[in-house]
């Protein structure tokens, strides 16, 4: 994935869970307007928000960031990858 592809993954996760931007913004403790800016890559997502999204969606940061297509991170051994 390209470097800003995490914004698509954030939006896809939100939509897959049938969450509104307002709901996710409330979980993050920010405004809907600011959260929308994260999804458009107008503002970079702070790390503390990334961690909260990982807990909300029960996925790894690597998954949200597009470093892996495995929602729960990399397998224990590369042979399993």
pLDDT tens digit sequence for 32-68: 999 999 999 999 999 999 999 999 999 999 999 988 8
pLDDT at 4: 75
pLDDT at 3 over 90: no
Please state the φ and ψ torsions of residue 15, each to the nearest 5 degrees: -70, -40
Q: Which residue has the tokens 């470093």?
A: 67
% of the chain at pLDDT higher than 90:
73
**Average pLDDT estimate for 8-26:** 97
| Six-digit token string for 79 | 């042979």
How far from the centroid of its chain's Cα atoms is residue 63's Cα?
8
Please give the sequence-ordered ranges of beta strands (E in DSSP) within 1-81, or none if there are none.
none
pLDDT at 1 over 80: no
**Average pLDDT estimate for 17-32:** 98
pTM of the model: 0.84
Length of the chain: 81
Helix intervals (H) in the chain: 6-16, 21-28, 32-39, 47-57, 61-65
């Amino acid at each position: 994935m390209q470097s800003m592809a995490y914004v698509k993954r954030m939006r896809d996760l939100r939509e897959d869970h049938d969450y509104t931007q307002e709901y996710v913004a409330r979980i993050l403790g920010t405004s809907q307007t600011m959260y929308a800016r994260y999804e458009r890559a107008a503002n970079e997502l702070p790390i503390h928000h990334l961690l909260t999204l990982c807990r909300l969606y029960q996925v790894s940061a690597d998954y949200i960031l597009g470093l892996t297509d495995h929602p729960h991170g990399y397998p224990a051994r590369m042979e399993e990858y």
